[in-house]
């Protein structure tokens, strides 16, 4: 039902679980958004800003409305009934990713400086005699410092927060939002993945008995070039993707190459950020010639391939004019 700008509406908000009436808003403008209604509701109920909620219409377990949805464009009468679900205290996705990426940085440095109880006591706080070990530490640290800075200043997250309580429990039918709980489980797995692999790699690379690569300085220099090239490429792709979406916008566009040569790979690949990420770890594997690093690279490649294929399918489904020449992660191959 459409309403003229002069017709005020009434809005009643019920609890999605108990069906109790929580709030009744009188004389609401028909062009008010769901976000504005939520703000009015929060003020009337004195909810704290750290508490997040969703509002659904018509059915208690219906689909959540978007904050930008306009009241007069929804299927409501002169009195609009909405259901409220409290998602509880939230934790920022920025905090989640900072935790994921800060862990490997700190853990690796603990092995590099050979803090006590890692190796034999005689090696406590000693340093390796091989220059490649120091170079590997700089590269590993650079990678995760870059990720931390990108999380703070480059990436934009479509969902700003996740429920804090979901950190302490896995997915299950009692969750008010199953998808967020599954995501939380994935976050826990990511922390285990990053932190565990960082410890495993660092243990062997910084071990007192570590031996340098077979082909010596030439192999290490070539690996360093590959690593740095792909790190710059990965950063360039992140900047290009960021520029596709203005602040506060959820508009999705097809990514295309820019004047930056590192973005020209968009001509052949849908997710070149993963391509460059793979290249970085291949370079690090060549540099250290360490089996745990090679295994980490292989597992990461498998996971990134899954993500890239999903993103590629999403592009093809959403955009009819999406370039057909592109592959998900590796040009002409995969």
Instruction: Check which CATH number belongs to the domain holding 45 and give it.
Output: 3.10.20.90
Check if the beta carbon of residue 219 is closer than 8 Å to that of residue 213.
yes
Check if the beta carbon of residue 64 is closer than 8 Å to that of residue 38.
no
Expressed as residue numbers, the domain containing 271 is 92-318
- How many domains, the chain? 2
Q: Please, what sign has the CA dihedral across residues 187, 193, 196, 202?
A: negative
In this prediction, residue 163 carries a pLDDT of 53
In this prediction, residue 325 carries a pLDDT of 93
Residues 82 and 109 in one domain: no
Is residue 162's pLDDT more than 80? no
pTM of the entire predicted model:
0.75
Which own/partner contact pairs does 14-21 have at CB distance under 8 Å and 24+ positions apart? 14/60, 14/81, 14/82, 14/83, 14/84, 15/83, 15/84, 16/56, 16/60, 16/61, 16/83, 16/84, 16/85, 17/60, 17/85, 19/60
Residues 143 and 115 in one domain: yes
- Domain assignment of residue 327, yes or no: no
What does the pLDDT average to over 116-122?
95
231-273, pLDDT tens digit by residue?
A: 999 999 999 999 988 776 667 889 999 999 999 999 999 999 9
7-65, pLDDT tens digit by residue?
A: 778 888 887 777 788 788 887 888 888 778 777 877 776 654 444 555 555 566 666 77
Residues 114 and 244 in one domain: yes
- Domain assignment of residue 250, yes or no: yes
Host H or E run for residue 135 = helix 131-153
d(CA 141, CA 265): 26
Residues 169 and 66 in one domain: no
- Domain assignment of residue 324, yes or no: no
């Amino acid at each position: 039902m459409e309403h003229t700008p002069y017709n005020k509406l009434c809005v009643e908000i019920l609890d999605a679980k108990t069906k109790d009436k929580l709030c009744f808003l009188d004389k609401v403008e028909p062009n008010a958004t769901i976000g504005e209604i939520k703000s009015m509701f929060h003020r009337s109920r004195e909810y704290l800003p750290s508490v997040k909620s969703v509002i659904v219409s018509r059915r208690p377990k219906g689909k959540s409305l978007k904050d930008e949805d306009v009241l007069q464009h929804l299927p409501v009468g002169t009195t609009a009934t909405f259901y409220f679900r409290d998602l509880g205290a939230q934790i920022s996705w920025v905090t989640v990713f900072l935790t994921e990426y800060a862990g490997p940085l700190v853990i690796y440095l603990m092995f590099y400086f050979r803090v006590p109880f890692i190796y034999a006591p005689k090696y406590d706080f000693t340093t390796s005699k091989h220059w490649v070990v120091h170079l590997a530490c700089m590269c590993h640290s650079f990678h995760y410092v870059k990720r931390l800075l990108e999380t703070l200043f480059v990436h934009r997250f479509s969902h700003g927060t996740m429920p804090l309580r979901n950190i302490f429990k896995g997915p299950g039918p009692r969750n008010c939002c199953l998808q967020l709980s599954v995501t939380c489980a994935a976050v826990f797995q990511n922390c285990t993945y990053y932190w565990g692999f960082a410890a495993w790699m660092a243990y062997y690379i910084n071990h007192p008995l570590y031996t340098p690569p077979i082909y010596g300085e030439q192999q290490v220099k070539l690996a360093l070039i590959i690593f740095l090239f792909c790190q710059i490429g990965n950063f360039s792709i992140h900047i290009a993707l960021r520029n596709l979406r203005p602040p506060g916008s959820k508009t999705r566009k097809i990514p295309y190459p820019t004047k930056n040569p590192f973005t020209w790979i968009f001509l052949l690949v849908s997710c070149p950020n993963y391509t460059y990420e793979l290249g970085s770890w291949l370079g690090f594997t060549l540099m250290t010639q360490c089996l745990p690093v090679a295994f980490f690279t292989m597992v990461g490649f498998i996971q990134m391939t899954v993500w890239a294929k999903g993103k590629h399918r999403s592009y093809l489904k959403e955009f009819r004019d999406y370039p057909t020449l592109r592959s998900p992660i590796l040009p002409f191959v995969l």
